[in-house]
Chains A and B, each alone.
Chain A
Amino acid sequence: MTEKNHFEGKPYADRFRSEQAALPNSDIQWLNDLRATSIERYEAVGLPGPKVEEWKYTNLSALKSEIYRTSKPSVGDNEKNIDEITLNEISGSKVVFVNGYFDQNRSNIIESPGIKISSLNDYVKSNPEDAKTLFENNRSKESLQNLNLALMTGGYIIEVDEVTKLAEPIQIIHVATDTAESNSLRTRNFISLAENSGAQIIERFHGENEVNYWRQNVTRVQLADGAALDILQTQTEGNGAIHMSETDIRLAADASLKHYSLNLGGKISRTEIKPTLNGKHGNVELRGAFLARDGAAHDVMTHMKHMVPECESDQVYRGVLDKGGKTAFQGKVYVAKDAQLTNADQSNKNLLLDRNAEANSKPELLIYADDVKCSHGATVGELDQEALFYLNARGLDNRDAKALLVEAFIAEVFEELSIEPVKENYLGLARAWLKAAV
């Protein structure tokens, strides 16, 4: 059975049944049960089709025409790829995933008091009770989340103790190699920060061009009172990739989250960020830029839930669309009935560089409390001709002038970023992309 407007769930459920025995930790019975109930839940709903409101702009028919196989641990040479995307200026721990599997040899986990970084598959073996609770507390009704849970091959768990503040950011590197052709790469991660702790996580998704793979990365984050987390993502997947990344963050009182993302790669890319403010004086900042061309479609969906009074959230997203690029921003701000004195802002601006480009924007406000300040703004347009002329008049040719203006348009997003190497890296990636564009 499949829900209305959804694609049939059976093909992936069948795939699960044939692959089940080969999945990691398949000797652990409770995990097998968890996987089995998850796939049942998935099958009852199916994959969301274009008539499902939240998937209106993201076409998943590619997942219907080809049924991806779950990836196998990679044996090939990936040093080059991994080196390429590692930020060497950052001396913190490095956690590497190749084709959805944790790679012990290429990772470098630095022991440090108050912080524990583990691979999900190891954690399941060594702390079965904790792992069970983790999975149980993070159940989701969404079919794709259940598919991820059923077929996950790896992931990481980061736990930070009270008052511990990480000196250096942790780097998480996800690479897909050319052996990932027709594979699905599913990872599931948990981050939990105890009272008044702080951490920064740099997360990078990268893959080979011309390889057709489907990455699905799911992260669940718990921030206790006063905890502060920065997540800094870059997505430079290969041009054949379907990239999905979903981050669900629950914030207690005085907790704060900063989430930065830059999307450049993949043929279909979907970034979902879902913060829930459960304690007073929580603060969320979301910043992102998406740059698309040549048939790539980048979707960003944010779902900001203000459940309690006196929290703040702010979202800034910028899209640059070149020839054949398509984007959709679906931002939702929900303010619950008693969440008075909420401040919530949202801004989405899109720049179209070519006739053959498309921008969609749906900034939504759902407000059930009266004493709030909420606003959103959205614009779509081309480069300001007067600004171009101004630069032309000062001797810049059209190409340079355009590049300068677009760079400024994107730079605004990353302006407040405090980690200099990451900021430089963001701008460098954007610059390289623009060079090919204008």
Chain B
Amino acid sequence: MVSTVETRQTVEKVSGDYKYGFITDIEMVKAPKGLNEDVIRFISAKKEEPEWLLDWRLKAYRHWLTMEEPEWAMLDYKKPDFQDIYYYAAPKSSDDRPKSLDEVDPELLRTYEKLGISLQEQEVLAGVAVDVVFDSVSVATTFRETLKEKGVIFCSISEAARDYPDLMRKYLGSVVPAADNFYAALNSAVFTDGTFVYIPKGVRCPMELSTYFRINEANTGQFERTLIIADDESYVSYLEGCTAPMRDENQLHAAVVELIALEEAEIKYSTVQNWYPGDKDGKGGIYNFVTKRAACRGTNSKVSWTQVETGSAITWKYPSCILQGDGSVGEFYSVAITNNFQQADTGTKMIHIGKDTSSTIISKGISAGKAQNVYRGLVKVMPNAENTRNFTQCDSLLIGDECGAHTVPYIEVKNPTAQIEHEATTSKISDEQLFYCLQRGLDVEESVSLIVNGFCKEVMQQLPMEFAVEAQKLLGISLEGSVG
């Protein structure tokens, strides 16, 4: 045992812990602390929003006041004090939004370089269009011109509210209504920025679109909103990444993501969630309370969610698909890793409404340290959904004897032609597997990393290349110190 402890310590020294825990010193503009109608008016005014959007926010806020914080999730945490949060924090320099990267505050650019997202480099080399959200505002969006030629709109949601009011009014809140749930209502009231994407008819988006979210300020909450509309016969692949500095207090992140796929359209949405998970003793970390939902409205439309969840102290997240269009397809691929005191309650909902709809759910949960990991999912088949098909597989891996892995699937079927299958297993890394790797010269950490990567392979394969590499590394880092 002594040798394994030593190995562990060496590995920890070499690779360090959370890499993105630094703080950027930047001058910020903030709204007063706390939440009331004036703060919402302040945010709306800052964003130069149209009247209808302010009304929409206020309506959501008033409804939110009547709601209670949900308690059904298997999570144990101190509830956030909603009056102790800054709802708006923006880098001062972006008051006049930069037209090109040259005008972006160099401090910000350096921040993103530290995160491994060099905006300039990506603009030139990688060919990935990036929208960057720093605390409450979008600070830079690359490749806009190239995309414009194709008719693709890729901008911050504040800009969209000004420049594309028709699209915004039609689709905002159409998948996740303002009063949907406690956190969605809060987000609808105070969302500060986010990304807006519109892919016109028949267009295959020429590059991957990507957003990086970064919480920087202390005591701030991040409330972003993403709205993606794929018009008839279009295709888009979208990536989302997030990080935050290491702080002792818990910070709240409550986002809403809405996806709309029309006739024959396809949206691929990938997330690598790496918010600060808190330290080894469970101190600090992000509360990640997110509502993500996709509506497959058109016939044969398709939405695919892929998520790698390694960060956050608490995760409460269920990316869902409403399969309305006949023949529409929903997919959910998830890897959720929890270590130390992390808690994750995550899964999906597949609501089959249209005929011949199908869905696939592959969920891999890995729990180490003192962490708790829950898969919670719903597969629902409505009476008119003929010939639907669902396949669900949830596997859990336990590392250490102090963690927990839980599976809570709901299956509700109201049509006899449906074919629904659910399978779940829970196990630990077997001694044989470990022995095999050790015998071939790998150390314990490497072996575990290899085995875990194999366990998650089905999901990792779904990720776009740029993300897959990052995600694989993250797996290793997240599990550090879990074996010994």
Tell me the smallest distance from the CB of A249 to a CB of chain B, in Å: 23
Q: Which segment of B29-37, B56-64, B174-182, B397-405 sits at the interface?
A: B397-405
Given A371-B401, A375-B426, answer yes or no on A362-B416 (Cβ-Cβ < 8 Å).
no
Tell me the smallest distance from the CB of A45 to a CB of chain B, in Å: 17
For the complex, count residues of A whose C-beta is within 8 A of B: 36
Is the pair B424, A365 in contact by a Cβ cutoff of 8 Å? yes
Is the pair B406, A367 in contact by a Cβ cutoff of 8 Å? yes
Is the pair B401, A379 in contact by a Cβ cutoff of 8 Å? no
Given A371-B401, A375-B426, answer yes or no on A363-B72 (Cβ-Cβ < 8 Å).
no
- A362 to B415, alpha carbons, bound, how many Å? 17
- A412 to B87, alpha carbons, bound, how many Å? 59
Is the pair B413, A358 in contact by a Cβ cutoff of 8 Å? yes
* Contacting residues, chain B, for A375 (C-beta < 8 A): 423-426
Residue of B with least CB distance to A327: B413
Tell me the smallest distance from the CB of A73 to a CB of chain B, in Å: 43
Is the pair A360, B410 in contact by a Cβ cutoff of 8 Å? yes
8 Å CB interface, A277-309 against B: none
Tell me the smallest distance from the CB of B357 to a CB of chain A, in Å: 15
8 Å CB interface, B411-459 against A: 411-428
* Contacting residues, chain A, for B399 (C-beta < 8 A): 370
Given A370-B428, A373-B427, answer yes or no on A359-B422 (Cβ-Cβ < 8 Å).
no
Residue of B with least CB distance to A371: B428
- Contact partner of A380 among B405, B420, B424, CB < 8 A? B420
- A262 to B277, alpha carbons, bound, how many Å? 49
Residue A353 lies at the interface, judged by CB distance under 8 Å to chain B: yes
Tell me the smallest distance from the CB of B375 to a CB of chain A, in Å: 9
Given A362-B410, A376-B407, A382-B416, answer yes or no on A355-B383 (Cβ-Cβ < 8 Å).
yes
* Contacting residues, chain B, for A374 (C-beta < 8 A): 425-427
Is the pair B417, A378 in contact by a Cβ cutoff of 8 Å? no
* Contacting residues, chain A, for B422 (C-beta < 8 A): 361, 363, 376-379
- A376 to B408, alpha carbons, bound, how many Å? 11
- Contact partner of A357 among B72, B416, B420, B425, CB < 8 A? B416
Residue of A with least CB distance to B386: A355
* Contacting residues, chain B, for A340 (C-beta < 8 A): 401
Residue A64 lies at the interface, judged by CB distance under 8 Å to chain B: no
- A302 to B152, alpha carbons, bound, how many Å? 53
Residue of B with least CB distance to A360: B412
Residue B409 lies at the interface, judged by CB distance under 8 Å to chain A: yes
- A223 to B123, alpha carbons, bound, how many Å? 71
- Contact partner of A365 among B407, B414, B418, B428, CB < 8 A? B407
- Contact partner of A370 among B72, B381, B401, B425, CB < 8 A? B401
Residue A315 lies at the interface, judged by CB distance under 8 Å to chain B: no
B-facing mask of A340-364, CB < 8 A → 1, else 0? 1000000000101111111111111
- A365 to B416, alpha carbons, bound, how many Å? 26
Tell me the smallest distance from the CB of A168 to a CB of chain B, in Å: 41
- A368 to B381, alpha carbons, bound, how many Å? 32
Residue A381 lies at the interface, judged by CB distance under 8 Å to chain B: yes
Residue A90 lies at the interface, judged by CB distance under 8 Å to chain B: no
Q: Mostly helix, strand, loop or mixed at chain A's interface? A: strand
Residue A405 lies at the interface, judged by CB distance under 8 Å to chain B: no
Given A370-B398, A370-B403, A382-B416, answer yes or no on A364-B408 (Cβ-Cβ < 8 Å).
yes
Residue A338 lies at the interface, judged by CB distance under 8 Å to chain B: yes
Residue A372 lies at the interface, judged by CB distance under 8 Å to chain B: yes
Tell me the smallest distance from the CB of B291 to a CB of chain A, in Å: 20
Residue of A with least CB distance to B405: A367
- A221 to B380, alpha carbons, bound, how many Å? 37
Is the pair A360, B411 in contact by a Cβ cutoff of 8 Å? yes
The residue in B398, B411, B417, B425 that gathers the most chain A C-beta atoms within 10 A of its C-beta is B411
For the complex, count residues of B whose C-beta is within 8 A of A: 35
- A410 to B183, alpha carbons, bound, how many Å? 45
* Contacting residues, chain A, for B381 (C-beta < 8 A): 380
Residue of B with least CB distance to A382: B416
Residue B396 lies at the interface, judged by CB distance under 8 Å to chain A: yes
A-facing mask of B361-383, CB < 8 A → 1, else 0? 00000000000000000000101
Is the pair A376, B383 in contact by a Cβ cutoff of 8 Å? no
Residue A53 lies at the interface, judged by CB distance under 8 Å to chain B: yes
Residue of B with least CB distance to A338: B401
- A354 to B383, alpha carbons, bound, how many Å? 11
8 Å CB interface, B243-298 against A: none
Given A350-B413, A360-B410, answer yes or no on A380-B400 (Cβ-Cβ < 8 Å).
no
Is the pair A362, B406 in contact by a Cβ cutoff of 8 Å? no
Residue A85 lies at the interface, judged by CB distance under 8 Å to chain B: no
Is the pair B413, A362 in contact by a Cβ cutoff of 8 Å? no
- A51 to B425, alpha carbons, bound, how many Å? 29
- A375 to B424, alpha carbons, bound, how many Å? 5
Residue A387 lies at the interface, judged by CB distance under 8 Å to chain B: no
Tell me the smallest distance from the CB of B467 to a CB of chain A, in Å: 29
- A340 to B411, alpha carbons, bound, how many Å? 29
Residue A366 lies at the interface, judged by CB distance under 8 Å to chain B: yes
Residue A422 lies at the interface, judged by CB distance under 8 Å to chain B: no
- A374 to B407, alpha carbons, bound, how many Å? 11
- A337 to B381, alpha carbons, bound, how many Å? 36
- A226 to B406, alpha carbons, bound, how many Å? 31
Residue A404 lies at the interface, judged by CB distance under 8 Å to chain B: no
Given A357-B416, A381-B420, answer yes or no on A366-B409 (Cβ-Cβ < 8 Å).
no
- Contact partner of B407 among A354, A358, A364, CB < 8 A? A364
- Contact partner of B406 among A353, A358, A364, A381, CB < 8 A? A364
* Contacting residues, chain B, for A34 (C-beta < 8 A): none
- Contact partner of A358 among B72, B396, B400, B414, CB < 8 A? B414
Tell me the smallest distance from the CB of A53 to a CB of chain B, in Å: 7
* Contacting residues, chain A, for B428 (C-beta < 8 A): 370-372
- A376 to B418, alpha carbons, bound, how many Å? 20
Is the pair B403, A355 in contact by a Cβ cutoff of 8 Å? no
The residue in A337, A361, A380, A382 that gathers the most chain B C-beta atoms within 10 A of its C-beta is A380
- A328 to B217, alpha carbons, bound, how many Å? 48
B-facing mask of A60-99, CB < 8 A → 1, else 0? 0000000000000000000000000000000000000000
- A338 to B400, alpha carbons, bound, how many Å? 11
Is the pair A380, B411 in contact by a Cβ cutoff of 8 Å? yes
Residue of B with least CB distance to A342: B426
- A41 to B402, alpha carbons, bound, how many Å? 35
* Contacting residues, chain B, for A381 (C-beta < 8 A): 416, 418-420
Residue of A with least CB distance to B398: A370
Residue of A with least CB distance to B392: A378
Given contacts A379-B421, A382-B416, 4 further A-B contacts (CB under 8 A): A361-B410, A366-B406, A378-B409, A380-B381
19 A-B residue pairings within 8 Å (CB atoms): A352-B416, A353-B416, A357-B414, A358-B412, A358-B414, A359-B411, A361-B422, A365-B396, A366-B404, A366-B406, A369-B398, A369-B401, A372-B426, A375-B425, A378-B421, A380-B381, A380-B411, A381-B420, A382-B418
The 8 closest A-B pairs by CB, nearest first: A352-B416, A370-B398, A361-B411, A365-B407, A380-B420, A378-B422, A380-B413, A368-B404
